[in-house]
């Protein structure tokens, strides 16, 4: 299925499944496919979107998402858990931070372009199909192959509702380092800038 035809609202309740959604055409035929894991609770509730692999060499979030997916029991869930473990599929395929095809840093091309280069197409579809469904977004990053980072969490530092929701989630996560970003968000984290979605960005590095 192409992601244009994917509708989260069409999935049944108390349902857990994995999807491979065609998202951008590959040179030589076929598509780059976005893996997506959905847990739809038995009861209505908020939607948590979690993404990883925005940078293709940051593996901890990519590995953590399937573990959470296996542990969740949708019949005991209120709301929806939607997880995209590898957003930057061409970069992951090449074990690189950015795309080897168009050179873009996926985190810097929001809101993307449906007719643009591959990274811009991926972002445009994320913005059209997943972000509007989310009440809250968690964006998982790490130091990748190049850096070593402390465990830290970035959040929106603001007195408004968005900032307070982001702060509460950051505190609940319990990371030893918190990194507040005042509005308007200018560079990182751009994933939900301007979308009105409270979010946190977790950076982690294995010991
Ligand atoms: Zn990253």
**Structural domains of the chain, with CATH:** 3-204 (3.40.630.10)
Distance of CA 28 from the midpoint of ligand 1 (Å): 29
Ligand 1 center from residue 176 Cα (angstroms): 19
- 194 pLDDT band, cuts 50/70/90, is very low
Average pLDDT over residues 71-98: 97
For range 59-78, the mean pLDDT = 96
Tell me what pLDDT residue 147 has: 83
CA 174 – ligand 1 centroid, Å: 20
- 23-42 tens-digit pLDDT: 999 999 999 999 999 999 99
Residue 185 has pLDDT above 50, yes or no: yes
pLDDT digits (tens, 9 = 90+) for 117-174: 999 999 999 999 999 999 999 999 998 888 888 888 999 999 999 899 999 999 999 8
CA of residue 106 to ligand 1 center, whole Å: 9
Q: Given CA atoms 168, 131, 151, 180 in this order, what sign does their dihedral have?
A: negative
pLDDT of residue 192: 45
CA of 45 to the centre of ligand 1 (A): 29
Q: How far is the CA of 187 from the centre of ligand 1 (A)?
A: 13
């Amino acid at each position: 299925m192409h992601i244009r035809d994917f509708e989260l609202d069409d999935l049944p309740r108390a349902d857990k499944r994995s999807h491979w959604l065609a998202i951008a055409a590959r040179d030589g035929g076929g598509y780059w496919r976005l893996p997506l894991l959905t847990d739809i609770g038995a009861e209505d509730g908020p939607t948590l979107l979690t993404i990883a692999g925005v940078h293709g060499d940051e593996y901890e979030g990519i590995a953590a998402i399937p573990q959470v997916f296996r542990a969740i029991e949708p019949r005991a869930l209120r709301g929806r858990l939607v997880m995209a473990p590898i957003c930057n599929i061409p970069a992951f395929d090449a074990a690189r931070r950015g795309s080897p095809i168009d050179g873009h840093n996926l985190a810097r091309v929001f809101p993307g372009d449906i007719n643009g280069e591959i990274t811009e197409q991926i972002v445009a579809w994320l913005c059209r199909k997943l972000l509007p469904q989310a009440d809250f977004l968690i964006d998982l990053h790490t130091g990748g192959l190049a850096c070593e980072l402390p465990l830290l969490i970035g959040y929106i530092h603001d007195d408004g509702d968005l900032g307070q929701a982001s702060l509460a989630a950051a505190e609940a996560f319990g990371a030893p380092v918190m990194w507040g970003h005042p509005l308007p968000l200018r560079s990182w984290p751009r994933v939900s800038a301007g979308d009105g979605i409270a979010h946190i960005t977790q950076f982690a590095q294995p010991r």
